[in-house]
Structure 1
Amino acid sequence: MTVQSSISLRGNAAAIFAEAIAAADPAQSLRQRLQSNPLPSPEQGGRSILIAIGKAAPAMMKEALQHVQGDHVALIVTHSDNRSEVPGATVLTSGHPIPDERGLKAGRQIIALLSAARKQDQVIALISGGGSALVPAPVDGLTLSDKIAVNEVLLSSGLDIVRMNLVRQHLSQLKGGGFLRHGSPASSTAYILSDVIGDDLRAVASGPTALPIGSHADARRTCIETGIWHRLPKAARTHLEKSIPEHAMAVEATNILIGSNRISLQAAFRCAMQTYRAEIVSDALIGDVSDAAEQIFRATTSATFDRPTALLFGGETTVRLRGTGCGGRNQELALRVAQLAHERTIPGNWVFLSGGTDGRDGPTPAAGAIVDAGTLTRIRTTGHDPASLLESNDSHKALSLSGDLLMTGATGTNVADIQVFLLGTNV
């Protein structure tokens, strides 16, 4: 059997990842779902209020506007990397992952639009990952600076996305069902592209059309038990200390899932099967990147090398910040896997890809990285120590030195992360 080179393995890993992204195409996913769940129409004399938030917002809105009938208004809020003009809609951009002043203004515009809704109107929400940071709408008593500080604490805490969004929901006017509260008494329908593992729709973009993940007290308890309470700004702690009853919803939304990490992982599997003996090892790769790297490496130890093999993973890991470097969860995961493979040795050629389906990994322009057996050596030849860079959370610099960054540009979608481990033969 022909031994696959690292170059061909790298190309194949990138192709498999591209198939995962294609399966999360927001326009196509929405179009298919509308065949069974068409856009609802407003009552007589009403109008449709279409609001799209998230990294896939422009593509979702463009498709939705081809199906809407009658009087309507359309507003999009997305990241600047994903901005595109959509005829018939107002397009706003704001900051991600750190909220900014533009997002604060966008949140106010959404609240104003929803607050003007009447009973005969129909609210149509188009929700995708990234929406939480893109439309900050702090509760009374919190400033944008407070929200930014909270977000920075959460992003560096190691908390999973569900617990992060639990806290965000109780500090926001739009999250945790805020669309419903402000849009009442109009009916609401949401089409959701999920970036949350397990597809808990309360957590996607912090659940603007869903009931909260937990109570006000649950959010406070989470902050205390995970040790981040005293890192939060005083205004956030003051609000969370209040005794606030759970919100009573005047209406409930119809929430419809149109795409997810699991769907993209299945597409990656079908692509990999054309060339490799393929296996989906996990569709819930979560938790700290160091633990995830160990889980991934263990999967390689049970693989046989009589034919090329593809081990696939989907999920969303977390990084606990220790240093002042720059990187993201996918880059750090890839570098950790490369380190484990160097220490324990994998026979034959191999490559490992970890990438964010949105094309952005943390505050960097990279989607992630593709590493191989030569990654650490290439870093060392530049005079740098991979372990020291990793300790400083400086995976972006390390992988830039080795030439292993995965650069896709903004993809216009977001369904969390995909990992591809390709093992060549050693015969």
Structure 2
Amino acid sequence: MTGSLRHHAETLFSVAVKAAEPAGALRASLARHPLPQPGPGGRILLIAVGKAAIPMAAEALAQLGDAPVEALVVTNRENFRPLPGATVMPAGHPIPDEDGLNAARAVIAALEAARAEDRVIALISGGGSAMLPAPAAGLSLADKAAANRLFLQRGLDIRETNLIRQQLSTLKGGGMVRLADPAPVTAYILSDVIGDDLAVVASGPTVAPIGTAEEARVLIAARGLGPMLPEAVRDHLASRTSQPANGPAAQNHLIGSNRQSLDAAVSAGETARIVNDRLTGDVSSAAAQIVAAATATSTEPACLIFGGETTVEIRGKGTGGRNQELALRVALAMPDLGRDWVFLSGGTDGRDGPTDAAGGLVDAGTALRIRAAGGDPAALLAENDSHAALKVAGDLLITGGTGTNVADVQILLLGARPEAPRNPHLTDTHSPSRKV
């Protein structure tokens, strides 16, 4: 029974990922919001960035036909491939690198060359923030990388992280629009952010900043991050003034999201329902919510769907990711339900942390399998070594890169609870409510 539940969970996860297929999502959006055409003597400047950049750019190029186009595509190395009609550049993710810095310089140069008769089309998807590191004046790539690592390690959520990162960058927080001025910008955005705040997706290169420099400074002080940041970052933030609020604006269109993927999974899963489409915060709290939902569910078979993006505060030296750690925590915290169950937590991009896994797929036997392999599940969890724990249990979720990214999906499948055995000394004739 557990084996069939595991297969069903993987099938539903595949359905959720397919619902965020970038080319199809863009195609559907363009039926409502067509691509802009250049003015007389103008051209199209197509800039695609993120994990879904290549399929989105391919769809846009196909629809642009014979229009004069300069296309620049930036994506992570795993999804990198040549694309006819475009210059494709690889970049580091989740840690920015020199390749990403070179890509950012190319994007900046292209935007600065845009004229009023040109039209800029931006295709934005998750991961774009790390892939286009454009340090503000006085900062180095190493400064930004160190700051980014700190934000990941200290468990800042995506909005908090981007509030600060936008103050350290030339492109984030509306930078593409400011650089392209006077050319108008139209953006099509595949959201990996819960709640679909477009100012947060890829740090909002076509959207006004999340907040002010002062708000970033307040957050850093509240989290005690100041002493741990590079000196150049501290100096920059101390002297930073916010971008004017009345700058040029882009036309921004949302083409896909985590909620749309959850809805697709529900449509494909018998008895499925969404329990929480904003599963955020620390993985320990998220695991507690999932266990509580499992114990509160009736004896009938059930399919409980969650979606979101949790955080992990790193305390150990192990390897893993938020989905793997969430799966391991659920496996260790789930009480004896008296029924078969499986729990899947996966990143829709196919990558969870710096590992080859998308996440984890666990069941009631996970902890036993870890111990049988000589591991201590609790000790591995304390060391943030969820990848090692799930690997020895055979519970890693491996999908490879999916070419999309709409945050994370969690699926909890519960089998029917067997009826309690009947007392052989009682028969229907003894029932006071039965007429004989």
Q: What is the TM-score when the length of structure 2 is the normalising length?
A: 0.94
Which position in structure 2 is the counterpart of 1:60? Answer: 56
Rounded to whole Å, the distance in 2 between the matches of 1:421 and 1:233 is 42
Rounded to whole Å, the distance in 1 between the matches of 2:337 and 2:231 is 50
Deviations 1:76-117 (A, max 9, x none): 000011112211001110110011000000000000000000
Is 1:295 the counterpart of 2:289? The answer is yes
Paired residue total:
417
Is 1:241 the counterpart of 2:238? The answer is yes
Is 1:305 the counterpart of 2:293? The answer is no
Which position in structure 2 is the counterpart of 1:183? Answer: 180
Which position in structure 1 is the counterpart of 2:423? Answer: none
Which position in structure 2 is the counterpart of 1:213? Answer: 210
Rounded to whole Å, the distance in 2 between the matches of 1:118 and 1:136 is 24
Which position in structure 2 is the counterpart of 1:76? Answer: 73
Which position in structure 2 is the counterpart of 1:138? Answer: 135
Is 1:166 the counterpart of 2:163? The answer is yes
Q: Show structure 1 runs of 4+ deviating over 4 A.
A: none
Which position in structure 1 is the counterpart of 2:279? Answer: 285
Rounded to whole Å, the distance in 1 between the matches of 2:306 and 2:409 is 6
Q: CA RMSD in A?
A: 0.9
Secondary structure at 1:152's aligned position in 2? helix
Instruction: Tell me the amino acid that sits aligned with residue 251 of structure 1.
Output: P
TM-aligned CA deviation for residue 42 of structure 1: 1.3
Contact 1:389 1:395 in 2 (8 A): yes
Q: Residue 50 of structure 1 is aligned with which of 46, 52, 62?
A: 46
Superposed, which structure 2 residues align to 1:194-233 within 5 Å?
194-233=191-230
Rounded to whole Å, the distance in 2 between the matches of 1:243 and 1:40 is 35
Q: Residue 338 of structure 1 is aligned with which of 319, 331, 340?
A: 331
Distance 1:245 1:356, change over 3 A: closer
TM-aligned CA deviation for residue 246 of structure 1: 2.5
Secondary structure at 2:243's aligned position in 1? coil
Instruction: Tell me the amino acid that sits aligned with residue 107 of structure 2.
Output: I
Contact 2:22 2:190 in 1 (8 A): yes
Rounded to whole Å, the distance in 1 between the matches of 2:109 and 2:393 is 49
Contact 2:208 2:245 in 1 (8 A): no
Rounded to whole Å, the distance in 1 between the matches of 2:242 and 2:372 is 60
Contact 1:349 1:423 in 2 (8 A): yes
Residue ranges of structure 1 left out of the alignment (5+ in a row): none
Instruction: Tell me the amino acid that sits aligned with residue 296 of structure 1.
Output: I
TM-aligned CA deviation for residue 250 of structure 1: 4.1
Is 1:421 the counterpart of 2:421? The answer is no
Q: Residue 329 of structure 1 is aligned with which of 322, 325, 330?
A: 322
Residue ranges of structure 2 left out of the alignment (5+ in a row): 419-436
Rounded to whole Å, the distance in 2 between the matches of 1:346 and 1:45 is 69
Secondary structure at 1:363's aligned position in 2? coil
Contact 1:180 1:249 in 2 (8 A): no
Contact 2:45 2:121 in 1 (8 A): yes
Is 1:396 the counterpart of 2:375? The answer is no
Rounded to whole Å, the distance in 2 between the matches of 1:53 and 1:174 is 12
TM-aligned CA deviation for residue 401 of structure 1: 0.6
TM-aligned CA deviation for residue 14 of structure 1: 0.1
Q: Residue 24 of structure 1 is aligned with which of 20, 23, 28?
A: 20
TM-aligned CA deviation for residue 387 of structure 1: 0.4
Question: Percent identity, aligned pairs only?
Answer: 57
Rounded to whole Å, the distance in 2 between the matches of 1:315 and 1:202 is 17
